Amino acid sequence: MSDSQQKDERFRDRLMALLQWVADRDPVAAARLVSDFADELFEELAGGPEPTPSV
Per-residue pLDDT, averaged over 6-21, amounts to 94
State residue 50's pLDDT score.
61
Round to whole Å and give the CA distance between 9 and 7.
5
pLDDT band of residue 19 (cuts 50, 70, 90) is very high
SS3 of the chain: helix, strand, coil, percent, to 5: 80, 0, 20
Round to whole Å and give the CA distance between 21 and 5.
24
Task: Tell me the pLDDT tens digit for each residue of 22-47.
Answer: 999 999 999 999 999 999 989 888 88
Counting residues of the chain whose pLDDT is more than 70, the rounded percentage is 85
State residue 53's pLDDT score.
66
The whole-model pTM stands at: 0.64
DSSP structure class, residue 47:
T
